[in-house]
Structure 1
Amino acid sequence: MPSHYNRWVKGITYGVVIANIMLIVTGGLVRLTGSGLGCSTWPRCNGDQWTTTPEQGIHGAIEFGNRLLTFGLLAVTILSFLAIVRIVLGRKITFWQTCKLLFGSQLKAFKGLRFAEFKHADLFNLNLILLWGIIAQAIVGGVTVWLRLNPWMVTAHYVLTAIMIAVAAVLLNRLLRSFEPSFREDEDITSAEPPHGSLWMVRLGWVGVVLVSALVFLGTVVTGTGPHAGDPETHRHAFDPVFVTRNHSLTVWLYCATLVALFVLTKKYSWPKAFNFSLLLVFFTLIFQAAVGYAQYFTGLPVLLVELHLIGSGLFIWAASALIERQFTLGSQKKRSRALERAEN
């Protein structure tokens, strides 16, 4: 466990973000190949078998492989947590002392740390959320199998993954802001005083939370109405597919409008270049998503394009979450003050 910030700490935090996006990628592969019930039970794969068998064929192998990815994600998240424990606590601590801290009398695994006691408590707490989120994901995934891929449960499974990506994006922002002076310089966090027009920055941040949440949810409704169910016998939503698709597209266009407003305000108030970079990143991921989304709509939802759209959704959630976190942090005097207190050279 490192005692100071280094490339390993930075790299493993990026790894947590990427590993959570990979859950969307492999989950899409399961659904698009009709392998959703390749393992027909949970937590076992089939009957008394914990692993897939040759009789279950390629569908069993794909579904079981998706389940194994959960353990890979757990390993990466544990490594991320161990990478920051000594940095947060400011003292040497062994693995067993870490276990005692988490599950002993202090129950820090449930209560987390307080900023008043540890200035990097947010890194500790965000990692804890990600660890507990993996357990929640596994349970939701199991219930989804028990309910034979009910589309509302598939929605819950995807939305939980989206939340995990968002938390990981916030964790990465906070880590870089605390330990990389160049990151803070690009954000122009040199004082607690927010830039001019910061009220609009925060207001549009809340609008972004609502619209991003809505478009992600409506995207799952479109999926639950479409043909790629994960199994031929799975129940589908009875909604009009054109109607739900247009509503999903509408929320995307509304969010695009907020981005245009932010571009105008960035120019007007000379907001930091890091903010402009985040805007461009979200804008380009939306262009990619729009191109793939309209292409798949007009070509009958070919599996390759659907998978590309799923990959794009994970990247978009990462980019949009990082942008919204920046809006709240850079536009708030209290949050800027806290960022300055956490800052280390």
Structure 2
Amino acid sequence: MKLPTDHPNPLVRRLLSFWAPTAESMRGWAMASVVVNAGIAVTGAGVRVSGSGLGCPTWPKCTPDSFIPVAHPEASIFNMLIEFGNRLLTFLVLAVGVACVLSALRLAPRRRSLIWLAWLQPVGIMAQALWGGLVVGTMLNPFTVGMHFLISAGLIAACWTLYARAGEGDGPARRVTHPDIRRLGYVLLAAVFVLLVAGVVVSGTGPHSGDEMASRFDLDIEAVARLHADVVYIVVGLTFALLFALHVNNSPRPARRATLVLFAVELGQGVIGYTQYFLAVPAMLVLLHVLGSTLVWIAALRVVTSLRTRAPKAAHSPAEAAAAF
């Protein structure tokens, strides 16, 4: 009987690898899930900055009478296609999430930790889709729109954790550097999440609401922008402190490299942020800023997972040892 991994086409072998997974292909599907979840977060911002947030004015149907875009007096067909296209991407994200679940279930030996992490993806994606319906139902209320992005951040965290754990064992976590440095890494990650929340507040206060009928937070845009900048300074300062501490303690190269990448991404994001501020927030730079925010979050997750490792779980009996082998 021919296995999917025996197919002569390498692309087909990769696409069907969830049926006969290896540790490497499990990590590959987890990374694919990171990419597609980050991608749909960015395209969602594209829907907003293009003014297409209510391109499909109903949910789950695109219009009251059709699941697909058709001429409708409440929206232009251009905006309708952009919003509908973003909805279709949900099925791609869900397909990758299901592939992660199948890979985790069929991986030998089976690892319960990976199965739980993999199941978070289709469950979270379905919850995210339902929340998208709430976004439409509330006419792009800035709170629901902001939560839509933050839920994506949570899904990205679950996907990255699956990627990291798939490359490790199931033994107890073991730090690779001083415990205070590891704590600093967690403080940095928390600060980056606060930065994402602050960015959501700025987005919900400023222009590019997604539609003329959408409401905005009743806040002073200058004040929230300054608050956002203050959090940026804190995050950059914490990142530099972590990078310095890792260097002084001669910590493993992967941890130093991950922190250096985060620092570089933060600097690039800062350039985009200040440029869009001084150019009166053009739509394209807003889109790049959302992409940068997503990359900062992923880079911060990478830093935290680089500060510890896990060895294979020790077998407690000959039978378990044979199964592990």
TM-score by length of 1: 0.80
Distance 1:256 1:342, change over 3 A: farther
Distance 1:284 1:196, change over 3 A: closer
Corresponding residue for residue 143 of structure 2? 152
Aligned residue for 1:341, secondary structure, equals coil
Deviation at 1:270, TM superposition (A): 1.2
Give the aligned residue type for 2:313.
Answer: E
Instruction: Work out whether residues 192 and 340 of structure 1, in 8 Å CA contact, stay in contact via their aligned partners in 2.
Output: no
Corresponding residue for residue 12 of structure 2? none
Q: Which runs of 5+ in 1 are unaligned?
A: 91-117, 180-188, 331-335
Deviation at 1:14, TM superposition (A): 1.6
TM alignment of 1:1-345, pairs within 5 A: 1-5=18-22, 7-55=24-72, 56-87=76-107, 90=109, 120-178=111-169, 194-195=175-176, 197=178, 199-327=179-307, 330=308, 336=309, 338-341=310-313
Can you list the C-alpha shifts for 1:84-121, whole angstroms capped at 9, x where unaligned? Answer: 21215x3xxxxxxxxxxxxxxxxxxxxxxxxxxx6x22
Instruction: Work out whether residues 12 and 80 of structure 1, in 8 Å CA contact, stay in contact via their aligned partners in 2.
Output: yes
Q: Which runs of 5+ in 2 are unaligned?
A: 1-17, 316-323
Whole-angstrom CA distance in 1 between matches of 2:216 and 2:44:
17
Aligned residue for 2:54, secondary structure, equals coil
Can you list the C-alpha shifts for 1:6-56, whole angstroms capped at 9, x where unaligned? Answer: 654333222101100111221011101100001111111111211111444
Instruction: Work out whether residues 2 and 84 of structure 1, in 8 Å CA contact, stay in contact via their aligned partners in 2.
Output: no
Whole-angstrom CA distance in 2 between matches of 1:322 and 1:196:
15
Q: More displaced, 213-222 or 252-261?
A: 252-261
Instruction: Work out whether residues 258 and 302 of structure 2, in 8 Å CA contact, stay in contact via their aligned partners in 1.
Output: yes
Instruction: Work out whether residues 289 and 313 of structure 1, in 8 Å CA contact, stay in contact via their aligned partners in 2.
Output: yes
Distance 1:254 1:46, change over 3 A: same
Give the aligned residue type for 1:261.
Answer: A
Distance 1:68 1:192, change over 3 A: closer
Aligned residue for 1:212, secondary structure, equals helix
Can you list the C-alpha shifts for 1:310-340, whole angstroms capped at 9, x where unaligned? Answer: 111111111111212333xx2xxxxx5x534
Whole-angstrom CA distance in 2 between matches of 1:212 and 1:300:
25
Instruction: Work out whether residues 21 and 103 of structure 2, in 8 Å CA contact, stay in contact via their aligned partners in 1.
Output: no
Instruction: Work out whether residues 77 and 127 of structure 1, in 8 Å CA contact, stay in contact via their aligned partners in 2.
Output: yes
Whole-angstrom CA distance in 1 between matches of 2:234 and 2:116:
33
Aligned residue for 1:170, secondary structure, equals helix
Instruction: Work out whether residues 188 and 238 of structure 2, in 8 Å CA contact, stay in contact via their aligned partners in 1.
Output: yes
Aligned residue for 2:217, secondary structure, equals coil
Whole-angstrom CA distance in 2 between matches of 1:285 and 1:258:
14
Kindly, what percent of the aligned residue pairs are identical?
34
Give the aligned residue type for 1:68.
Answer: L
Instruction: Report the number of matched residues.
Output: 297
Whole-angstrom CA distance in 1 between matches of 2:36 and 2:137:
25
Instruction: Work out whether residues 175 and 182 of structure 2, in 8 Å CA contact, stay in contact via their aligned partners in 1.
Output: no
TM-score by length of 2: 0.85
Can you list the C-alpha shifts for 1:140-164, whole angstroms capped at 9, x where unaligned? Answer: 1100100000000011101000111
